[in-house]
Amino acid sequence: MTEPKPEALDALLRAFLSEDVGRLDVTTEFTVPAGTRAQGELIAKSECVVSGLPVARRVFELLDPALAWEEVAAAGTKVTAPAPLAYLAGRARSLLTAERVALNLLQRMCGIATATRRFVEAVAGTPCRILDTRKTAPGLRPFDRQAVRDGGGVNHRYDLAEMVLVKDNHRRLAGGVARAVAAARAGAPDTPLEVEIESEAELAEAIAVGADRVLIDNQPPETVARWCALARTAARPPFLEASGNMRLDTVRAYALAGVDAVSVGALTHSVTAADVSLELFTG
């Protein structure tokens, strides 16, 4: 899986800070005396799965390289409120200026990890894995993906270069599954290839042309179970994935239908942020 290097992540975080600060943090600059030191703690005020503390730390460090930091909750840990997540100390002005960006990312990542954990728990006891999708807000994908991993999920392709995924529009514009797969194999022969299917005929065609993965989209669990059984009879069965408006109350039925994975766009496109705050004191 392709993930940005630390310097690329720093560039993103600097851009987020620049967007938030603008020309000057006028409130902090004119109310907090220069040289003031502060210490405090990050507190989870809602039950959540922890994710994003290293990211929050880096946001603070970009404005105060001498930041003192102690994490007290490990990534992937489920905490009940109120729960301390980390203690920090540094230049008061820097901590205040970085606070909103750090909290926005931390709250979002904890929210994604929490939602992911619920889906993972819903399919517990089956071989089915919970996958994310590319339905992320631009600029936030590396952080969202980390949160999914912290919640126990598995990342799908990072970007359009990482995997061929022939979807409905590709099929129509290419002239069908076989033509799309043949063209993709010719142009990117070493790239994993997945085909999204919406009918039994398309399933048979995808298997016949040797798709590595088959994505069964927007079908009821009963149909998915029947198509999975058919696919498993192939000489080289593909990896089977289901998608399409997956919910906590339905995902287990899909897991029991026999798919290897379920992809859930809601993990990252409909995030409910965790409630996390920063409490600062002089000292």
Known catalytic residues are: 100, 135, 167, 196, 217
171, 177 contact by CB (below 8 A) = yes
For residue 48, the surrounding DSSP H or E stretch is strand 48-49
Nearest Cα neighbor of 199 from 171, 182, 179, 219 is 219
Q: Concatenated DSSP letters for 181-237?
A: HHHHHHH-TTS-EEEEESSHHHHHHHHHTT-SEEEEES--HHHHHHHHHHHHTSSSP
In this structure, the number of other CB atoms found within 10 A of the CB of residue 239 comes to: 15
State which amino acid sits at residue 195: V
Q: Residue 154 has what DSSP assignment?
A: B
In this structure, the number of other CB atoms found within 10 A of the CB of residue 102 comes to: 28
In angstroms, what CA-CA distances link 99 with 31, 56, 80? 16, 9, 22
**At 89, phi and psi to the nearest 5?**
-155, 145
